[in-house]
């Protein structure tokens, strides 16, 4: 059974076309992956009824298990690759069970407190990205590269150069070490292993890391000058860490579709919502 990942826009569109262009039974041919990126963004929908309908919809068509967040996936893949863990775990083992979530949706219709908490959570996520970037997740190397070459090189060329210079490995290490308390692991003990590892062996993280830098490249290229990521871009890029987890990645986000054509090492097939409905359902 193929695994499908829907970004939040596609969840909306797929739900709106249910029973008009396809029947629910058609969706049962696939396993739809769910992530905190989706549920966080669905929680920011102002209408309680709409929040409930879309959240219930994505859980109904999924296998009722949530993927780990992107930082946890980076950690799991990295620790496995350097031999510190025996397995790679993509599913969150502590996630609330499906029955409890559905009962909450049906009985409470996801009240306003849920919406307020989601808005605050998203705001905090954006602030965390911004603060983290200042401290140790700086993307300044790519800005410097772009200034030097005048945007004449492709993103792939720049990214490979940054790997060869050790910048991406260092970025990965600093990101993981910054989150070490949350992840419950001291990555300092494996610093040299991480700095020298082959990043292309990280199935999801390799694509996700490229996506993070590709957003900066794309922003600079579009504006013709060195610019910074928007907070919303820094949150949206989390979806790309699930790209290689899924067989089919469905999105109508033009920026994500553009980045998909820029980055390499992808095993997933990307489709718009309409093309997914027409070609898969």
What does the H/E/C string look like for 184-211?
Answer: CCCHHHHHHHHHCCCHHHCCCHHHHHHH
Q: Which residue has the higher pLDDT, 170 or 148?
A: 170
Residues 4 and 96: their CA atoms lie apart, in Å, by 21
Band of residue 223 on the pLDDT scale cut at 50, 70, 90: low
Q: What is the pLDDT at residue 134? A: 45
Domain tally for the chain? Answer: 1
Range among 32-46, 104-118, 198-212, 230-244 rated most confident: 198-212
- The yes-or-no verdict on residue 248 having pLDDT over 60 is yes
Closest by CA position to 174, among listed 141, 138, 227 = 138
Rg (C-alpha) for the chain, rounded Å, is 19
Residues 220 and 151: their CA atoms lie apart, in Å, by 8
Give me the torsion for CA of 216, 221, 226, 227, rounded to 10°: -50
Distances (CA, A) of 100 to 39, 104, 213: 15, 6, 38
Residues 181 and 190: their CA atoms lie apart, in Å, by 15
Give the structural domain span for 275: 3-280
Cα 144 off chain centre by: 26
Q: Which residue has the higher pLDDT, 102 or 94?
A: 94
Q: What is the pLDDT at residue 72? A: 94
Q: Which residue has the higher pLDDT, 187 or 161?
A: 187
């Amino acid at each position: 059974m193929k695994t499908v990942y829907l970004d939040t826009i596609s969840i909306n569109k797929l739900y709106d076309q249910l029973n008009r262009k396809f029947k629910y039974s058609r969706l049962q041919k696939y396993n739809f992956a769910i992530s905190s990126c989706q549920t966080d963004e669905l929680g920011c929908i102002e209408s309680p009824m709409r929040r409930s309908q879309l959240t219930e919809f994505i859980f109904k068509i999924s296998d009722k298990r949530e993927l780990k967040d992107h930082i946890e996936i980076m950690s799991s893949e990295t620790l496995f690759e350097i031999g510190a863990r025996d397995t790679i775990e993509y599913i969150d083992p502590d996630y609330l069970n499906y029955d409890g979530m559905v009962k909450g949706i049906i009985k409470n219709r996801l009240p306003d407190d849920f919406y307020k908490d989601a808005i605050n959570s998203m705001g905090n996520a954006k602030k965390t990205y911004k603060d983290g970037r200042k401290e140790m997740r700086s993307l300044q190397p790519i800005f410097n590269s772009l200034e030097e070459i005048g945007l004449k090189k492709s993103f792939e060329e720049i990214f490979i150069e940054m790997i060869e210079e050790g910048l991406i490995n260092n970025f990965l290490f600093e990101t993981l070490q910054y989150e070490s308390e949350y992840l419950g692991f001291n990555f300092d003990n494996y610093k040299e292993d991480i700095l020298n590892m082959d990043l292309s062996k990280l199935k999801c993280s390799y694509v996700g890391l490229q996506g993070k830098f590709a957003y900066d490249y794309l922003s600079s290229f579009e504006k013709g000058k060195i610019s910074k990521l928007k907070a919303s871009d820094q949150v949206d890029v989390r979806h790309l860490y699930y790209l290689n987890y899924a067989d089919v990645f469905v999105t109508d986000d033009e920026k994500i579709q553009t980045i998909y054509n820029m980055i390499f090492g992808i095993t997933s097939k990307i489709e718009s919502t309409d093309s997914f409905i027409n070609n898969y359902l």
